[in-house]
Amino acid sequence: MNTQNNILEALGKLKEHLMPFTDHRPIMIGIHSGGVWVAEKLHSQLNLKDPLGTIDISFYRDDFSRVGLNPTVRGTHLPTSIEDRHIILVDDVLHTGRTVRAALNELFAYGRPLSVTLAVLLERDGRELPIQADIAGIHMSLGSEHYVKLTGPEPLALTLLEP
């Protein structure tokens, strides 16, 4: 479905909307795995001062008792204290909202940020929690039987998984 042009366009849109935020010296944090790939692109384009942070939500998943411990936990690495800082949280696809819920919980285990802004490459329908993106590169309506997946990191590509 999606060519790399769509992704470039979406990244351009995210960059444009995030530019005004850079005055607040935000810390950018990507959610493993796809969110980190997107965040890497944005981070270099926005010339942010603090290094990119990464977050792994494995310990905060709400389906742990059903699917078990993720065998490839990559861990959370935050470059500096998030206390009283503005955070830009980046993910690839916003679908149910459960990943973002888990990421917020993980984030708050490290401190109390001043604000969290959610930026996603693609937002789609199917939310199960009251969580919305502040900035989204692509909007898509898919229906509950379809899934969309970002592959990467080079090149980034969106794949639609048929039921």
Partner 1 sequence: MTDTDIQFDKSGTLRHFLTVEGLPRDILISILDSAETFLGLGQREIKKVPLLQGKTVVNLFFEPSTRTRTTFEIAAKRLSADVITLETSRMSTTKGETILDTLNTLEAMHTDMFVIRDSFSGAAHLISTHVPAHVSIINAGDGRHAHPTQAMLDAFTIRRHKGDFSNLRVAIIGDILHSRVARSQIHALNILGVPEIRVIAPQTLLPNQIKRLGVHPYYDIEKGLDGVDVIIVLRLQLERMEGQLIPSDREYFRFYGLTPERLSGARPDALIMHPGPINRGLEIASSVADGEQSVILEQVTNGIAVRMAIMATLMGRQSPSPREAD
- Classify 120 as helix, strand or coil: strand
Q: Which of 109, 141, 145, 162 binds partner 1 (CB under 8 A)?
A: 109
Indicate whether 37 belongs to the interface with partner 1 (CB under 8 A): no
Q: How, if at all, do strands 86-94 and 27-31 pair? A: parallel
Cα 141 to Cα 57, 127, 148, 155, distances in angstroms: 26, 11, 11, 24
Task: Decide whether 100 or 138 has the Cβ nearer to partner 1.
Answer: 100
How far apart (Å, rounded) are the C-alpha atoms in residues 40 and 27?
12
Size of the site for partner 1 (CB under 8 A): 20
State the nearest-atom distance from the C-beta of 78 to partner 1, in Å.
Answer: 9
Mask 60-89, x = binds partner 1 (CB under 8 A)? x---xxxxxx-xxxxxx-------------
For residue 159, the tally of other CB atoms under 10 A from its CB is: 12
For 150, the enclosing helix (H) or strand (E) is strand 147-151
Of 109 and 161, nearer to partner 1 (C-beta) is 109
Q: Determine the interface stretch with partner 1 among 21-29, 34-42, 109-117, 155-163 (rule: CB under 8 A).
A: 109-117
Which region holds residue 41: left if phi is over 0, alpha if psi is between -120 and 50, else beta? alpha
Between 75 and 153, name the residue whose CB sits nearer to partner 1. 75
Q: Which is nearer to partner 1, 59 or 147 (CB)?
A: 59
End-to-end Cα distance, the chain:
15
Contact residues for partner 1, defined by CB under 8 A: 56, 58-60, 64-69, 71-76, 105, 109-111
